[in-house]
């Protein structure tokens, strides 16, 4: 197994008293030596003040790894590093960049970017020229926002309509995962949509990812579930609850980031549930805590497993190993590459 690169961020010590868009003080990359299962902090980054608001949240969100190039994004920047030296090969920051959640190469010399703050997916060239844009909410993004505004300086544009957090390709098709709408849609063929709202009769939780591997798509839900979908039929073929693989009632953590190792095994990222402003998106965690402890003050009583990556065997339905990351400034995982 090749070494893994984990993208994420270090939280501010007083994050619980900050707004969500101010939580992270540092973007970090942790490399996991898979032979020894040993993590090491190998890169830290902080955005320059000219491309972010006052007291920004600086964190690496979802990226991509191709050969010796690591594609990363902060809230307002795209950075392509050449490994292993972490030499900056390309850097782009544009005025409409706000709360970027994912960047990946298109396969044709351009970049595909999920600009979550504006509910759009864009395609740009390496010099930053805008080639394509898709409003994933189905409306006109520039009826809601202004082309003349520098959104890098805007702390938040919430509330969102669709919250696109991942962009992926299947052949020539370009797709986006829409967290708040519980689905993935094909941007280049509007007839194609994958329902990610959960199994029949069960209310699903917010989804991330969209990893295309072995002709199938892998998504994570924040409550520790994996959805496997067939892009040809646009149907979810498997709902896998990782909580059932572990003999514990404690919530696994905020599940986000997945790497398919082989036909049976996946590595998944879990971020520790902290005493931050837990709101709507962690109702599942609140419910578990109240069920376990009977304590209505869920933020104080929340049992929390550490931030980590975990390898699960989907065939044997077992947890094979964990690698804790908290001691390496990784408080939240966004991408497992």
φ, ψ of residue 169 in degrees (nearest 5): -120, 145
CATH number 3.30.1240.10 given to 4-244: no
pLDDT average, residue stretch 58-70? 97
Give me the long-range contacts of 242-245 (CB less than 8 A, separation at least 24).
Answer: 242/268, 242/310, 242/312, 242/319, 244/317, 245/312, 245/317, 245/318, 245/319
Q: What's the pLDDT score for residue 170?
A: 97
pLDDT average, residue stretch 27-42? 97
Which residues in 74-215 belong to E strands, given as ranges?
78-82, 87-92, 100-105, 111-115, 120-124, 130-135, 164-170, 173-178, 183-186, 193-195, 207-213
Q: What's the pLDDT score for residue 156?
A: 95
Q: How confident is the model at residue 209 (pLDDT cuts 50, 70, 90)?
A: very high
Q: How confident is the model at residue 276 (pLDDT cuts 50, 70, 90)?
A: very low
Residue-wise pLDDT tens digits, 179-188: 999 999 999 9
Whether the per-residue pLDDT at 45 is higher than 90: the answer is yes
- Its pTM stands at 0.93
Q: How confident is the model at residue 17 (pLDDT cuts 50, 70, 90)?
A: confident
Whether the per-residue pLDDT at 255 is higher than 90: the answer is yes
pLDDT average, residue stretch 220-236? 96
Q: How confident is the model at residue 288 (pLDDT cuts 50, 70, 90)?
A: low
Residue-wise pLDDT tens digits, 127-164: 999 999 999 998 888 999 999 999 999 999 999 999 99
Q: What's the pLDDT score for residue 281?
A: 57
Domain residue spans in the chain?
4-244
Rounded CA-CA distance 118/157 in Å is 7
Q: Comparing C-alpha atoms, which of 323, 315, 334, 333 is closest to residue 262? A: 315
């Amino acid at each position: 197994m090749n070494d893994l690169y984990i993208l994420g961020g270090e939280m501010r010590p007083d994050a619980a008293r900050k707004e969500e868009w101010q939580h992270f003080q540092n973007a970090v990359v942790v490399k996991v030596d898979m032979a020894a299962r040993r993590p090491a902090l190998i890169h830290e980054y902080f955005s320059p003040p000219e491309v972010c608001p006052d007291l920004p949240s600086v964190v690496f969100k979802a990226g991509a790894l191709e050969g010796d190039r690591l594609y990363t994004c902060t809230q307002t920047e795209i950075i392509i590093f050449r490994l292993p030296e972490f030499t900056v090969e390309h850097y782009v920051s544009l005025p409409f960049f706000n709360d970027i959640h994912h960047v990946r190469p298109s396969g044709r010399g351009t970049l595909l970017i999920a600009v979550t703050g504006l509910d759009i997916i864009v395609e740009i060239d390496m010099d930053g020229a805008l080639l394509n844009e898709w409003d994933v909410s189905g409306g006109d993004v520039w009826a809601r926002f202004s082309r003349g505004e520098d959104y890098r300086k805007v702390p938040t544009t919430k509330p969102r309509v669709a919250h696109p957090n991942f962009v992926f390709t299947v052949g020539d098709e370009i797709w986006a995962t829409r967290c708040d709408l519980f689905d993935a849609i094909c941007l280049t063929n509007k007839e194609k949509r994958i329902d990610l709202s959960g199994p029949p009769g069960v209310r699903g939780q917010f989804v991330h990812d969209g990893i295309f591997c072995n002709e199938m798509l892998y998504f994570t839900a924040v409550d520790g579930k994996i959805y496997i979908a067939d892009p040809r039929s646009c149907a979810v073929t498997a709902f896998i609850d990782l909580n059932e693989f572990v003999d514990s009632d404690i919530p696994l953590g905020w599940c986000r980031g997945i790497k398919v190792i082989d036909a049976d095994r996946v590595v998944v990222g879990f971020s520790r549930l902290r005493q931050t402003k837990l709101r709507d998106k962690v109702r599942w965690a609140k419910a578990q805590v109240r069920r376990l402890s009977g304590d209505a003050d869920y933020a104080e009583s929340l049992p929390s497993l550490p931030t980590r990556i975990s390898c699960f065997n989907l065939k044997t339905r077992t947890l094979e190993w964990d690698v804790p990351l908290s001691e390496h400034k990784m408080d939240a995982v966004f991408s497992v590459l």
